[in-house]
Structure 1
Amino acid sequence: MNWINNVVRPKIQKVFKKRDVPDNLWIKCGNCGEMVFHRDLAIALNVCPSCNFHMKLGTKERFQQLFDQGEYEEVALPDVAVDPLKFRDQKRYPDRIKEARSKTGRNDAVTVAHGALDGIETVISVQDFAFMGGSLGMAAGEGIVKGAQEALARKAPYVVIAAAGGARMQEGILSLMQMPRSIVAIQALREEGLPYIVVMTDPTTGGVTASYAMLGDVHIAEPGALIGFAGPRVIEQTIREKLPDGFQRAEYLLEHGMVDMVVHRHELKGTLARLIRLMTHRPASPRKDALPVVQPPVPAA
């Protein structure tokens, strides 16, 4: 009996033991419900190959898509007070910051980098929704302002990839003050004649929309992006009326003149390059390989 228990049974269990398989190999599209293999989704820049639904894209992936050969240099941002109001709700505010930093690997919601975009030195700020909903606090505000200052110093175009749920309530009035600060920084760019382009992704709302996100020389939106100040549910409850279909979505705003163009993520770099060359009076790119076209993977039959 001991021989059966100690030798035979463990060997049988080892043969039929299930392998430990990661649970994130397949990702479900939030629009059509299609299950997409994670590598195929990464190749497609987090765009569903079945319905073209634009899922959220991380900071690193944004930079790698837009900068030539994925090469760039991040800009150091000024330090700010972590918890100026000693705020606490269900958790202490420093604990929330720590969790967000651990989750994203970023110091805060906004990261700034510079590098070549189609051979043109460009400064890009990316607002990451994964970091506390991309909320605008003092650190994020410093990121937007520092990006503008870096563009001024380098005489370079400035591109902001916006994604936010609004101001960060844990910082109170200090977060709201980032709105006028960012406006002043953008005005300095305009006075120097430097291009300022905003790419609004899903979602771009609240104080971000009410400040630097709507001050671009050109406003680009990703397909289906929610863009506005208050959300549709809040508006419906306030005016007590049913909103039109697609209200506050990128395509609706394009029809009503709030954005200049809706651009598929795979075409974003090429569009930015053409706009920057047009706005800086530069000839079209002579390099055929400067703007690679990302082909989405063909879904399995």
Structure 2
Amino acid sequence: MNWISDWALPKIQGLFRREVPENLWHKCSSCEQMVFHKDLERNLHVCPHCGFHNRIGAEARIDITLDEGWQKIELPKAPADPLRFRDQRKYGDRLREAQLKTGMDDAIMVAHGAIEGRAAVVAAFEFSFQGGSMGAGVGEGLVAAARLAVLQDAPLIVFPASGGARMQEGAVSLMQMPRSVIATRMVKEAGLPVIIVLLDPTTGGVTASFAMLGDIQIAEPGALIGFAGARVIEQTVREKLPEGFQRAEYLLEHGILDMVVHRQEMKPTLARLLSLLREPQILAEPAPLALASPNA
């Protein structure tokens, strides 16, 4: 019977064996419900049970924002490890590891295309690349996106998701704050709109620079938005902060944001805004006032 168990049975099992992919189920980090991975993808990585917006990568963000056929642009190369920084590891090693992990040169991707037929330039941050931190590479990407928007006479839409400035680049990273402000100014001076869509999280030097300078400020539900952490602020002001402080909904109530938009509604909302901002609106002429008869 050995030939049956050693040869025949494995052959038969091999005919019917199917490869089972890993991570078929995703556990929501908010409500802890299990979601089938195909259902999560169809719902744009938003939990169907509680509406929690999971983070998605820069390429996926651009793909769900722009119409089919969008094109990624090659960004200028920034100096790698300009300070030869080292903590527990060399910064150059950390940089190469992030590049291999994400397939990107730095924490930003820029593309041009259309949103429901309306031209747009989109810059999206990649949070999995060193926390979306803003170094020289990101600064170069934002300037390149602004120049492309001006060249194509197209609005600029930026999706920041970042922990702030990249500390391993020291003052070089801090200089990207004024550079990013100048980039948004270039677009505005050309008479083009700048729309900022704040994602979870947007903090530190990114918040303190271009991320708050959009003509229209939008955020996804529940996004953490702020400069310093809540614990640092509490220790500074010595007061208990309100519930939901630094979340998108709180900032909307207090006038920091213009709107909070669900991910599934983001593309049609952006298309509607571009239509209002860029396309001439025909206003109906008011009806002439009826003059009262003198004999009335």
TM-score (norm 1): 0.87
Q: Secondary structure at the match of 1:136?
A: coil
Q: Hey, what's the Cα distance between the residues in 2 that align with 1:232 and 1:21?
A: 43
Q: Secondary structure at the match of 1:156?
A: coil
Q: Hey, what's the Cα distance between the residues in 1 that align with 2:168 and 2:89?
A: 11
Q: Find 1:234's aligned residue among 225, 232, 253.
A: 232
- Pair 1:102–1:283, CA change in 2 (3 A): farther
Q: Find 1:272's aligned residue among 266, 270, 273.
A: 270
Higher-RCO chain (CA-CA 8 Å, sequence separation at least 6): 1
Q: Find 1:263's aligned residue among 258, 261, 274.
A: 261
- Pair 1:232–1:15, CA change in 2 (3 A): farther
Structure 2 partner of 1:43: 42
Q: Hey, what's the Cα distance between the residues in 1 that align with 2:70 and 2:50?
A: 31
Q: 1:129·1:163 contact (CA, 8 Å) conserved in 2? A: yes
Query: What is the one-letter code of the residue matched to 1:228?
Result: G
Q: Find 1:99's aligned residue among 89, 97, 100.
A: 97
Task: Give RMSD over aligned pairs.
Answer: 2.0
Q: Secondary structure at the match of 1:204?
A: coil
Q: Hey, what's the Cα distance between the residues in 2 that align with 1:248 and 1:279?
A: 29
Q: 2:59·2:109 contact (CA, 8 Å) conserved in 1? A: no
Query: What is the one-letter code of the residue matched to 1:25?
Result: L
Please state how far the C-alpha of 1:163 moved relative to its aligned partner: 0.4
- Pair 1:239–1:65, CA change in 2 (3 A): same
- Pair 1:15–1:230, CA change in 2 (3 A): farther
Q: Hey, what's the Cα distance between the residues in 1 that align with 2:39 and 2:231?
A: 34
Structure 1 partner of 2:215: 217
Structure 1 partner of 2:241: 243
Q: Find 1:186's aligned residue among 184, 187, 209.
A: 184
Q: How does 1:51-200 map to 2 (within 5 A)?
A: 51-68=50-67, 70-200=68-198
Q: Is 1:8 aligned with 2:5?
A: yes
Q: How many residues align?
A: 280
Query: What is the one-letter code of the residue matched to 2:37?
Result: H
Query: What is the one-letter code of the residue matched to 2:167?
Result: M
Structure with greater Cα Rg: 2
For structure 1, the 5+ residue unaligned runs are: 285-301
Q: Secondary structure at the match of 1:172?
A: helix
For structure 2, the 5+ residue unaligned runs are: 283-296
Q: 1:108·1:140 contact (CA, 8 Å) conserved in 2? A: yes
Q: 1:64·1:71 contact (CA, 8 Å) conserved in 2? A: no
